[in-house]
């Protein structure tokens, strides 16, 4: 078949002569078709490169927090509230902060604590919240960093006092709650002149109260600090505690690895010193220092101090938490004048006694033993 023809019909005339001498003609037809599916041909040559597309929008500026001065250094609440203050202009007590055991989904395992922020009634502005008091100055740039679990349907809003002419703030991330721990970054840009006061005020807003949200990390960073004031901050890879049972250290406890982070210090040299340990660790001379359960031994608490370049110092305390297997109501030691705190939690004032031991009984009572 010629190109362009995919099928033909062939007709065959057949003539038959009968016995009686008559003729019969029969037409037989046959259709012939062409197969259109052949083997895959070779790949053709690559075509020319197309023109370059338009340039996308510029991304947000990256932030290197190591180049900024941290204004509040206990950012994961290992030692306290890290300077957080209740923000509620109504002053009616409906907004509270409590330092509580960390949420299971908290992203920071170097601390056993989160901050719980609760609003139980009307507050102002919005439903109240937190403040890291940060004093502004001409042309200063601060970044407020919060890692928090904010309920879905709620947002974090920012407020400030005078921050200079042209001063402004803007979120570098979303400010919306997701019901999970998220990072919230807020840029504070001071004006070049005018009146300068405080910033760092964050309030939660949403459909209703009461409302509760959790903070795993909170800090403020000064990206325009003059020369970046030298700092050293010591943190641990986990909670700064070891545990024991009936005065005997529990087996197979993870070491505590302390890390000293410096800011604005050139060529840092680290010296670690120790006080109160049963077995003093050996100074590593590096930015990290390992503390073992054997180091704490029978000591109730001990301190670790990191000194950088002989001048810049930070210190942390390692504690031993003792658990008792004694029956509820049992006394401690042989002295019959032992004192026991009541179930109601009433405080015994025993300023005239020297206490040599204190631990929790199996019934949850704090047992206090008098020194003989």
Give strand pairing partners of 318: 302
- Is residue 338 within 8 A of residue 367, CB to CB? The reply is yes
Q: How do strand 301-308 and strand 339-340 relate by DSSP bridges?
A: unpaired
Return all residues near 351 (Cβ < 8 A) that are at least 6 apart: none
- Rounded to whole angstroms, the Cα distance separating 323 from 249 reads 10
DSSP-derived letter for residue 92 is S
Phi, psi of 13 (to 5 degrees): -80, 130
- Rounded to whole angstroms, the Cα distance separating 321 from 319 reads 6
- Rounded to whole angstroms, the Cα distance separating 283 from 261 reads 17
- Rounded to whole angstroms, the Cα distance separating 136 from 68 reads 15
Q: Which residue has the higher pLDDT, 225 or 80?
A: 80
- Rounded to whole angstroms, the Cα distance separating 64 from 234 reads 19
Lowest mean pLDDT among 10-19, 67-76, 84-93, 236-245: 10-19
- Is residue 232 within 8 A of residue 269, CB to CB? The reply is no
**For the chain, what are the domain ranges?**
68-222, 231-323, 324-372
Mean pLDDT of 209-213: 97
Mean pLDDT of 67-92: 93
> For residue 231, what are its two tokens?
């700092």
User: To the nearest 10°, the Cα dihedral for 229, 235, 237, 243?
Assistant: 180
Question: What b/e readout covers 16-48, taking b as 16+ CB neighbours within 10 angstroms?
Answer: eeeeeeeeeeeeeeeeeeeeeeeeeeeeeeeee
pLDDT tens sequence across 2-34: 677 777 787 778 777 777 777 777 777 777 777
pLDDT tens sequence across 312-371: 889 999 999 998 887 666 655 444 344 444 334 444 443 333 333 444 444 444 444 433
Q: Is the pLDDT of residue 228 over 70?
A: no
Helix (H) or strand (E) holding 293: helix 293-296
- Is residue 321 within 8 A of residue 242, CB to CB? The reply is yes
Q: Which of 311, 305, 234 is nearest to 274 (CA)?
A: 305
Q: Which residue has the higher pLDDT, 359 or 232?
A: 232
Q: Which of 108, 64, 61, 111 is nearest to 221 (CA)?
A: 64
3-state secondary structure 137-173: CCCCEEEEEEEEECCCCCEEEEEECCECCCCEEEECC
Helix (H, G, I), strand (E, B) or coil at 288: strand
Lowest mean pLDDT among 104-118, 223-237, 253-267: 223-237
Lowest mean pLDDT among 137-141, 196-200, 266-270, 304-308: 266-270
Q: Considering the domain 231-323 in this protein, what is its CATH number?
A: 2.60.40
Q: Which of 210, 105, 186 is nearest to 149 (CA)?
A: 105
Query: What pLDDT is attached to residue 353?
Result: 37
Mean pLDDT of 154-177: 95
Return all residues near 48 (Cβ < 8 A) that are at least 6 apart: none
What pLDDT band is residue 229 in, cutting at 50, 70 and 90?
low
Query: What pLDDT is attached to residue 327?
Result: 67
Q: How do strand 312-323 and strand 241-245 relate by DSSP bridges?
A: parallel
Tokens 């895959």 — which residue?
A: 40
- Is residue 316 within 8 A of residue 256, CB to CB? The reply is no
> For residue 196, what are its two tokens?
């300068």
Phi, psi of 141 (to 5 degrees): -125, 120
- Report whether CATH 2.20.25.650 matches the domain 68-222: no
Q: Which of 78, 80, 104 is nearest to 239 (CA)?
A: 78
Q: What is this structure's pTM?
A: 0.53
């Amino acid at each position: 078949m010629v190109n362009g023809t995919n099928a033909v019909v062939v007709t065959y005339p057949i003539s038959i002569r009968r016995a009686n001498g008559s003729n019969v003609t029969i037409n037989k037809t046959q259709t012939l078709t062409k197969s259109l599916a052949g083997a895959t041909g070779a790949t053709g040559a690559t075509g020319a490169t197309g023109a370059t597309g338009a340039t996308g929008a510029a991304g947000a500026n990256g932030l290197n927090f190591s180049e900024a001065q941290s204004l509040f250094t206990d950012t994961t609440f290992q030692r306290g509230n890290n300077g957080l203050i209740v923000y509620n202009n109504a002053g009616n007590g409906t907004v509270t902060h409590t330092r509580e055991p960390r949420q299971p989904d908290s992203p920071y395992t170097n601390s056993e604590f989160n901050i719980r922020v609760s609003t139980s009634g009307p507050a102002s502005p919005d439903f109240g919240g937190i403040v890291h008091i940060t004093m502004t100055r001409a042309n200063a740039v601060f970044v407020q960093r919060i890692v928090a679990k904010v309920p879905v349907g709620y947002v974090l809003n920012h407020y400030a006092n005078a921050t200079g002419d042209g001063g402004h703030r803007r979120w570098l991330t979303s400010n919306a709650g997701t019901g999970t721990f998220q990072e919230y970054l807020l840029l504070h840009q001071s004006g070049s002149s005018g009146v300068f006061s405080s910033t760092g005020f964050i309030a939660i807003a949403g459909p209703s109260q009461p409302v509760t949200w959790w903070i795993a990390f909170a800090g403020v960073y000064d990206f325009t600090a003059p020369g970046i004031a030298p700092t050293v901050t010591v943190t641990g890879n986990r909670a700064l505690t070891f545990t024991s049972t009936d005065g005997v250290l529990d087996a197979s406890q993870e070491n505590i690895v302390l890390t000293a982070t410096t800011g604005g210090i050139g060529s840092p040299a680290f010296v670690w010193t120790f006080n109160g340990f049963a077995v003093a660790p050996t100074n590593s001379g590096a930015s990290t220092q390992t503390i073992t359960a054997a180091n704490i031994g029978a000591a109730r608490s001990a301190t670790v101090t990191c000194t950088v370049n002989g001048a810049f110092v930070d210190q942390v305390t390692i504690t031993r938490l003792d658990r008792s297997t004694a029956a509820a109501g049992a006394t401690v030691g042989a002295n019959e004048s032992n004192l026991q705190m009541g179930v109601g939690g009433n405080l015994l004032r025993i300023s005239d006694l020297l206490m040599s031991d204190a631990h929790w009984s199996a019934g949850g009572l704090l047992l206090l033993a008098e020194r003989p």
